[in-house]
Amino acid sequence: MPTELLLAFAVAGTFVLYSIFGGADFGGGVWDLLASGPRKAEQRALIARALGPVWEVNHVWLIVGLVLLFSGFSRAFAVLTVALHVPLTLLLLGIVFRGTAFTFRTYDARGDLVQRRWGLVFSVASVISPVLLGMCVGAVVSGRIRVEGRVVVSGFFAPWLTPFSVAVGVLALCLFAFLAAVYLTAEADSEPLREDFRRRALLSGGAVFLAALGVLVLAREAAPRVWSGLLHAPFALALHAITALSAVATFVLLWRRRFSWARVTAAAQVGFIVLGWAASQYPYLVVPDVTIQAAAVSPNVLRLLMVAIAVGAALVVPSIVLLLRVFEARPPRT
Amino acid sequence: MDDLLYARAQMGLSLAFHIVFAAAGVALPVLMVLSDWKARRTGDADYRLLSQKLAKGTAILFAVGAVSGTVLSFELGLLWPEFMGQYGEVIGFPFSLEGVAFFTEAIFLGIYLYGRERVSPGLHLFSGVMVALSGAASAFFVTLVNVFMNNPTGFTPTPTGPTNIQPLVAMFGPGWQYQTAHVLLSCYQASAFAMAGIHAFVLLRHPGSAFHRKALAVALPLACITALAQPLVGDFLAKHTAEARPEKLAAMEGLFETQRGAPLSVGGLPDEETATMPYALEIPRALSILAFGDPDAEVRGLKEFPRENWPPVAKVHLSFQLMVGTGSAMALLALVTLVLRWRRREWPSGPRMMRAWLLASPLGLVALEAGWMVTEWGRQPWIIHGVMRTSEAVTPVPHLAAPFWTFTLVYLFLGLVVAFLLARQVAGTLPGREADDAH
């Protein structure tokens, strides 16, 4: 496989991992906002406990994806940051407020009012950020970002302010909320709490289905390239089949209260949706003017980046496994 | 202001904000691990509390540093798309390695902060060490990018962009040793001085507090060593700049005319229009000695370079003076402190020294910010020296005033919140107050 394809695959991989890990963190914020019922406080405490040790790490996938994009496909990065300047800036504000509010809430544990205010900032930012992220993805796949030479000619609003982009944003929000709810069923340490999130998982799973349907309907008009990619790309149908299977499996497992397995299939479902998106826009990085091959940097730089990825993986993967194992086994409640 | 200036102001502001947290992210883990290690060795409850307080401080500062760093990595493209579009491939490699370092830092910080009760003491301490090492590695790799922007190598420039790219050559541009050492030292120095000042402040009010004396004794060695080492490294860097970037040195010194046996100017307000520098105190031949180690050496003045390539002389000169001034003050205080430490066999804690350390507390950060301004303003009007002008790199997106003011307000707000939270952390350790629960 040519090196630029390998690297493109690595970039897609970081997006998959960011969705599976970082996405669930956004979802946690959504459920923090929507906490309700008699166990409102316990739900929020569970979310805070589950996020605390890992959210900084989960956030790094975004940075790694970004760095690989600008190191390996510099031209595409420049195009995207010009065309999506506005939503990316708003997304950044969301990320800033989300991260700092969560930390301030955790490390300044006094006064319910202060806690609630930071909690509100955290959860509102958690809702807005995934929508913006999805809108950027929607703009990229819709083919409305137009480039001539190195110049973006499609303006700074038109590509991402469309019903289709908004629909992709909503889909991202529903997906992340769904993922978080499924994860939290497995993290919960009491039966009623578990049932709370089981109900939320089933409901948001339904919302994912509806949002995906909406995106699909709009895609035919708004993103013809992806529409045909969804149906005709070589691996697309296989990827969709796996996605559909994981979705059904997650529902069945949730229904039968097999929460640890539901977590795996839900992660697979989200991962394959992201991969399906990536496959459907192949060979374009920015549909329809920038291809992977055209944006790729010189071969020796690509090779070096592959070395960096290998070294990074050798250091990072065992460390993450260690982190997850340390916080996997929950001590008995005190 | 035009859009270029707004873009520069936003980038500058973001860096100025981030650099404070980045410095803390490099240095605080070292202080945290030191106190943790002392706590384990002595079983002393004060050291244990100190390491917990430092861990909380690290967590707060790291989170702000992580998000402001994320902003910066996006802003590279949002504000300077031509720079990243053309040269992303040349400087992407150190950024990728920085990504790896950021990863290990976040992972082991998670284990350190949340794992105190879950992992073995050895693994816990090891995690802290990994956080400290990763932080230093991050700063190292990011500084290499700045070295490249100042002394670009490892490619052949063409009108359509760089060709013949050798990322490893580009990564270790000329003078990389000096600049990375200078930056790393400044991180430790700024944090150690800030911490020493905080505890000196409490000791002035509560002279007997054992906790704060111990905390001071953790901060002072690092503060003194770095404050004395920094002028040496700075001197190497200045000599390198004299060779590699003579117009930058001339701007730093406010030297307009090329001369043999050039004097060193202390103070002074350079005037680009008249090419003079009134109000300066001149030390004969000192600049020639400092720059080339020879009292008769020729130092090139700004007039040898095209006017349109001059950096903003007054800003660079004043920042440089500020950096050298604060650096000298810190070195002097370190020297006095070490002499007292040697004569009395314990770290000084009398009111006069405590007032001095309190006054010196912000100097490390002032020097760090001033030094950063020297290097950034000193590189103007280039984003990559001699290759690409800042005005060629800026984004075509209009109305850049909007994001500039937004981020200014956000950073102002976050800065105030962090200061408030850290003050509360310290307040929790005052004698008579109950130490609040730590993670």
DSSP string computed for A214-243: HHHHHHHHH-HHHHHHHHHSTTHHHHHHHH
Parallel/antiparallel/unpaired status of strands B161-163 and B259-260:
unpaired
pLDDT score, position A330: 57
Percent of chain B at pLDDT exceeding 70: 98
Assess A318–B contact: CB distance below 8 Å, yes or no: no
Please judge whether B115 and A327 are an interchain contact, meaning their C-beta atoms are less than 8 angstroms apart.
yes
Query: A-chain residues within 8 Å CB-CB of B6?
Result: none
pLDDT score, position A332: 44
Kindly indicate the confidence band of residue A333, based on its pLDDT and cuts at 50, 70 and 90: very low
Nearest by CB: B85 against A67, A78, A100? A78
Q: What residue has token string 């910066």? A: B72
Closest CA in chain A for residue B120: A326
Helix (H, G, I), strand (E, B) or coil at A1: coil
| Residue among A208, A220, A151 nearest A178 (CA) | A208
Nearest by CB: B424 against A77, A82, A108? A108
Kindly indicate the confidence band of residue B436, based on its pLDDT and cuts at 50, 70 and 90: very low
pLDDT tens per residue across span A276-295:
888 888 888 888 888 888 88
pLDDT tens per residue across span B50-83:
999 999 889 889 989 999 999 999 999 999 999 9
Q: What are phi and psi of B200, to 5 degrees?
A: -65, -40
C-beta of residue B15 within 8 angstroms of C-beta of residue B118: no
Interface of A with B in 29-68 (CB under 8 A): 52-54, 56-57, 59-60, 62-64, 66-68
Please judge whether B88 and A77 are an interchain contact, meaning their C-beta atoms are less than 8 angstroms apart.
yes
d(CA A76, CA A81) in angstroms, rounded, equals 9
Among the residues of B245-297, which ranges form H helices? 246-253, 286-292
d(CA B396, CA B151) in angstroms, rounded, equals 27
A315 Cα to chain B: minimum distance (Å): 8
pLDDT tens per residue across span A191-248:
999 999 999 999 999 999 999 999 989 988 888 887 887 777 667 788 888 999 999 9
Query: A-chain residues within 8 Å CB-CB of B104?
Result: 315-316, 319
Nearest by CB: B106 against A56, A95, A315? A56
Q: What are phi and psi of B266, to 5 degrees?
A: -105, 130
Please judge whether B397 and A85 are an interchain contact, meaning their C-beta atoms are less than 8 angstroms apart.
yes
The upper half-sphere exposure of residue B21, i.e. CA atoms within 13 Å in the direction of its Cβ, equals: 26
Please judge whether B85 and A60 are an interchain contact, meaning their C-beta atoms are less than 8 angstroms apart.
no
Query: A-chain residues within 8 Å CB-CB of B88?
Result: 70-71, 74, 77-78, 297
Please judge whether A85 and B93 are an interchain contact, meaning their C-beta atoms are less than 8 angstroms apart.
no
Kindly indicate the confidence band of residue A111, based on its pLDDT and cuts at 50, 70 and 90: low
B134 pLDDT above the threshold of 60: yes
Please judge whether B114 and A52 are an interchain contact, meaning their C-beta atoms are less than 8 angstroms apart.
yes
Give strand pairing partners of B281: B266
Interface of A with B in 200-239 (CB under 8 A): none
Please judge whether B70 and A63 are an interchain contact, meaning their C-beta atoms are less than 8 angstroms apart.
yes
Query: A-chain residues within 8 Å CB-CB of B87?
Result: 74
pLDDT score, position B349: 84
A171 pLDDT above the threshold of 90: yes
Q: Taking each helix axis from N to C terminus, what angle separates A40-51 and A85-107, rounded to the nearest 10 degrees? A: 110
Please judge whether A71 and B60 are an interchain contact, meaning their C-beta atoms are less than 8 angstroms apart.
no
Q: What residue has token string 């040195």? A: B249
Size of interface A-B (CB pairs under 8 A): 206
Query: A-chain residues within 8 Å CB-CB of B68?
Result: 96
pLDDT tens per residue across span A35-87:
888 998 889 989 988 888 888 888 899 999 999 999 999 999 999 999 999 99
Query: B-chain residues within 8 Å CB-CB of A93?
Result: 406, 410
Question: Which of B53, B89, B134 to substitute to test the interface with A, most A CBs within 10 Å?
Answer: B89
Please judge whether A70 and B115 are an interchain contact, meaning their C-beta atoms are less than 8 angstroms apart.
no
pLDDT score, position B428: 79
Assess A154–B contact: CB distance below 8 Å, yes or no: no
Express the helix, strand and coil content of chain B in percent, nearest 5 each.
Answer: 75, 5, 20
Q: Taking each helix axis from N to C terminus, what angle separates B3-42 and B121-150, rounded to the nearest 10 degrees? A: 150
A14 Cα to chain B: minimum distance (Å): 12
Structure tokens at B256: 């307009």
**Position B338: which residue type?**
L
Return the ∠ at Cα A264 (arms to A258 and A268), rounded to 5°.
135
Stretch A163-176: mean pLDDT: 95
C-beta of residue A316 within 8 angstroms of C-beta of residue A57: no
d(CA B362, CA B385) in angstroms, rounded, equals 32
C-beta of residue B4 within 8 angstroms of C-beta of residue B19: no
Query: A-chain residues within 8 Å CB-CB of B84?
Result: 70, 74, 77-78, 81
Structure tokens at B283: 């030390």
Q: What is the mean pLDDT of chain B?
A: 91
Nearest by CB: A53 against B93, B114, B397? B114
A225 Cα to chain B: minimum distance (Å): 25
C-beta of residue A15 within 8 angstroms of C-beta of residue A274: yes
| Residue among B323, B408, B423 nearest B17 (CA) | B408
pLDDT score, position A279: 84
Kindly indicate the confidence band of residue B200, based on its pLDDT and cuts at 50, 70 and 90: very high
List CB contacts of B429: < 8 A, sequence separation 6 or more. B49, B53, B202, B211, B212, B435
Structure tokens at A131: 């929508």
B382 Cα to chain A: minimum distance (Å): 19
Q: Can you say how many angstroms the Cα of residue B273 is from the centroid of all Cα atoms in its chain?
A: 32
A297 Cα to chain B: minimum distance (Å): 6
Give the start-end residues of each E strand in B166-263.
259-260
Please judge whether B99 and A63 are an interchain contact, meaning their C-beta atoms are less than 8 angstroms apart.
yes
| Residue among A157, A156, A101, A159 nearest A128 (CA) | A101
* pTM, 2 dp: 0.92
C-beta of residue A326 within 8 angstroms of C-beta of residue B115: yes
pLDDT score, position A54: 85
**Position B99: which residue type?**
G
Structure tokens at A191: 């039966």
Q: What residue has token string 């807005």? A: A128
Please judge whether B92 and A301 are an interchain contact, meaning their C-beta atoms are less than 8 angstroms apart.
yes
Kindly indicate the confidence band of residue B1, based on its pLDDT and cuts at 50, 70 and 90: confident
Give one DSSP letter per residue of A163-195, joined into a string: HHHHHHHHHHHHHHHHHHHHHHHHH--SHHHHH
Percent of chain A at pLDDT exceeding 70: 97
A1 pLDDT above the threshold of 90: no
A13 Cα to chain B: minimum distance (Å): 15
Query: A-chain residues within 8 Å CB-CB of B18?
Result: none
